[in-house]
């Protein structure tokens, strides 16, 4: 590992300054209370809204707009960095709020050259876009796969560097895990990730704060295929089809173990979902 990859700070800080003030457009996802999905149980602050609608929550207070005018540095930022920092969430998004039969497929822990190319091939065959929450330590070793994800229009998100239980880390450790991973993604793709997902679905206040500082929104999931337990391809397919519904976000894995079942399951459930009229898409920000 190169030493410069261990220092997430400087460019991220510059990016944060440059980000202040533009209009946020996250708005297709909702959070909600749920005891069974999304891994959101780790953080359930009392008194928070049960449903935070994206557009209102993400629109940003007006003070930020005036802050933008008081920030001369932003005038010199490249246009792609003029994106508002998202608000600090109290829980992750669990599903899309967009009307209609839309679903999001997400793949975590990769990229892994044994499985990710097969998943990319299937997604390409059906011309659909998905999300890949990559680990920095995998991404830095398989940059070509990261490029292929982006070339095919998929969204590359941040899943920490080494997949730790971040609720056990001090804030500096969370910052390092998320920051280094964002740096690798930006190095390879030219733009930093806009989404992150906590390993094991274990979120905490610091991770929401640091994720927001890095310009990312937290995304959990609605339906967990539990594919990591290798329950059998047919079981994975059944879980996806039984969990399918408008706005559902599906969690699967393209790395972290033997993912042959996950690869085979996608080949089966993707055409079924499309036949059922679902549009497989990615959230916009």
Kindly state the smallest distance separating residue 160's Cβ from Zn ion, in Å. Answer: 8
Interface with Zn ion: number of residues (CB under 5 A):
3
Only segment of 41-49, 143-151, 192-200, 221-229 that touches Zn ion (CB under 5 A): 192-200
Specify the residue, 193 or 199, whose C-beta has the smaller distance to Zn ion.
199
- For Zn ion, the closer of residues 21 and 199 by Cβ is 199
Question: Which is it for the CA torsion 85, 179, 111, 105, positive or negative?
Answer: negative
| Separation CA 218–CA 197 (nearest Å) | 6
Q: Which is nearer to Zn ion, 20 or 174 (CB)?
A: 174
Residue number, 64 or 259, with CB nearest to Zn ion: 259
**Three-state DSSP class for residue 197:** coil
> Which of 26, 27, 108, 115 lies at the binding interface for Zn ion (CB under 5 A)?
108
**Phi, psi torsion values for 244, nearest 5 degrees:** -60, 145
Which H or E element spans position 196? strand 195-196
Instruction: Mark the segment that binds Zn ion (CB under 5 A) among 89-97, 103-111, 187-195, 215-223.
Output: 103-111
Among 113, 198, 194, CA closest to 157: 194
Active-site residue, 108 included: yes
Q: Which stretch binds Zn ion (CB under 5 A): 58-66, 97-105, 148-156, 199-207?
A: 199-207
Residues 63-102 that bind Zn ion (CB under 5 A): none
Which spans in the chain are helix H? Answer: 9-19, 54-58, 62-69, 116-125, 136-139, 143-151, 171-189, 205-213, 233-243, 260-275
C-alpha span between 188 and 268 (Å, rounded): 31
Closest to Zn ion by CB, 57 or 145? 145
Let me know if 97 is exposed, middle or buried by CB neighbors in 10 A (0-12, 13-18, 19+): buried
Measured in degrees and rounded to the nearest 5, phi and psi for residue 108 equal: -110, 160
Compute the least distance from the CB of residue 199 to Zn ion, in Å.
5
Name the catalytic one among 108, 112, 224, 254.
Answer: 108
Segment contacting Zn ion by CB under 5 A, of 27-35, 85-93, 107-115, 120-128: 107-115
CB of 250 to Zn ion, least distance (A): 14
Residue whose CB is nearest to Zn ion in the complex, by number: 108
CA nearest neighbour of 164 among 181, 142, 145: 181
The CA-CA-CA angle for residues 218, 222, 226, to 5°, reads 105
Among 98, 109, 224, 227, binds Zn ion (CB under 5 A): 109
Which of residues 98 and 109 has its CB atom nearest to Zn ion in the complex? 109
Q: Are 260 and 115 in contact (CB under 8 A)?
A: yes
From the CB of 23, what's the least distance to Zn ion, in Å? 32
Of the candidates 154, 159, 163, 253, the residue annotated as catalytic is 253
Start-to-end Cα distance in the chain = 31
Binding to Zn ion by residue 254, rule CB under 5 A? no
CB of 98 to Zn ion, least distance (A): 25
Q: Of 87, 6, 93, give the one whose Cα is nearest residue 283.
A: 93
Least distance from Zn ion to the Cβ atom of residue 107, Å: 10
Question: Known catalytic residues?
Answer: 108, 253
Residues lying near Zn ion in the complex (CB under 5 A): 108-109, 199
């Amino acid at each position: 590992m190169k030493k410069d990859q261990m220092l997430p700070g400087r460019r991220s800080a510059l990016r944060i300054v440059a980000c202040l003030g533009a209009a946020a457009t996250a708005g297709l996802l909702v959070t909600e209370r749920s005891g069974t999905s999304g891994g959101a149980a780790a953080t359930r602050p009392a008194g928070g809204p049960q449903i935070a609608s994206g557009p209102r929550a993400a629109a940003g207070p007006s003070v930020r707009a005036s802050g933008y005018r008081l920030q001369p540095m932003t005038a010199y930022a490249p246009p792609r960095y003029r994106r508002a920092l998202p608000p600090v969430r109290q829980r992750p998004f669990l599903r899309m709020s967009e009307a209609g039969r839309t679903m999001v497929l997400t793949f975590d822990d990769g990229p892994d050259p044994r499985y990710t190319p097969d998943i990319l091939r299937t997604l390409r065959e059906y011309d659909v876009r998905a999300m890949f929450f990559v680990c920095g330590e995998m991404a830095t070793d398989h940059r070509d796969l990261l490029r292929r994800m982006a070339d095919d229009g998929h969204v590359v998100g941040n899943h920490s560097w080494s997949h730790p239980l971040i609720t056990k880390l001090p804030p500096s450790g969370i910052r390092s895990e998320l920051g280094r991973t964002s740096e690798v993604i930006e190095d390879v793709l030219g733009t930093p990730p806009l989404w992150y997902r906590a390993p094991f679905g274990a979120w905490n206040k610091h991770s929401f704060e640091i994720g927001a500082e890095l310009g990312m929104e937290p995304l959990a999931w609605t339906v967990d295929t539990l594919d990591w337990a290798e329950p059998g391809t047919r079981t994975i397919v059944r879980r996806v089809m039984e969990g399918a519904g408008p706005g559902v976000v599906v969690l699967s894995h393209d790395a972290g173990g033997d993912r042959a079942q996950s690869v085979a399951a996608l080949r089966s459930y993707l055409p079924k979902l499309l036949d059922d009229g679902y549009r497989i898409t990615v959230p916009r920000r």
